């Protein structure tokens, strides 16, 4: 197995719909304020990517929630008003099992929302062992998972038309 690091934040713009199509679509980005030095960098990457691809700033709504567990509630509230919803959070493992419960709660919540088949909810929640791993994925050496979330949101919102 290769130990080389990969930056997965590059995407193929030819696989996206035209900017004309994207300019008429609405996206919600829900961000956890917990670990904000990480989550706000992910938020910046997501919003920049949406705009760079053709979504107008007026069609991007950002919703702040206190922590990762609250992401699912806010996402459920947004399902009917947007083409896609991106949830952004960062859970860093500590000395207690709290990490496991939070990660399981958010993962199951997003999976449940997606199983409804109404609006894609994109999981841009980092679950890392330490702060360095989180920063590496929030614009560091491993790219920006917010950027990847935005690209995924566009692809999923247009899955039928692509």
Q: What is the pLDDT of residues 97-155, one digit of tens each?
A: 899 999 999 999 999 999 999 999 999 999 999 999 999 999 999 999 999 999 999 99
The pLDDT of residue 3: 43
Helix, strand and coil in the chain, % to nearest 5: 45, 20, 35
Active site annotation includes 98? yes
Distance CA 114, CA 73 (A): 13
Q: Is residue 91 within 8 Å of 103, Cβ to Cβ?
A: yes
Q: Which of 6, 64, 80, 98 is catalytic?
A: 98
- Residue count (the chain): 162
Distance CA 12, CA 16 (A): 8
Please calculate the CA angle 89-116-70 and round it to the nearest 5 degrees: 25
17: tokens are 């719909």
Mean pLDDT of the chain: 92
The pLDDT of residue 9: 61
């Amino acid at each position: 197995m290769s130990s080389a690091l990969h930056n997965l934040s590059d995407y193929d713009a030819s696989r996206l719909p035209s900017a004309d199509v994207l300019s008429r679509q609405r996206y919600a980005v829900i961000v956890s304020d917990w670990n904000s030095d990480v989550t706000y960098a992910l938020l910046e990457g997501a919003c920049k990517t949406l705009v760079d691809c053709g979504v107008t700033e007026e069609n991007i709504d950002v919703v702040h929630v206190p922590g990762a567990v609250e992401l699912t509630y806010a996402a459920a509230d947004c399902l009917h008003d947007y083409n896609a919803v991106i949830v952004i959070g960062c859970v860093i493992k500590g000395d207690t099992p709290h990490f496991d419960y939070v990660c399981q709660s958010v993962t199951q919540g997003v999976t449940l929302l997606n199983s409804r088949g109404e609006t894609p909810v994109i999981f841009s929640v980092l679950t890392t062992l330490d702060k360095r791993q989180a920063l590496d994925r929030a614009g560091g050496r491993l790219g920006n998972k917010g950027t990847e979330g935005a690209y995924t949101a566009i692809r999923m919102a247009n899955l039928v038309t692509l």
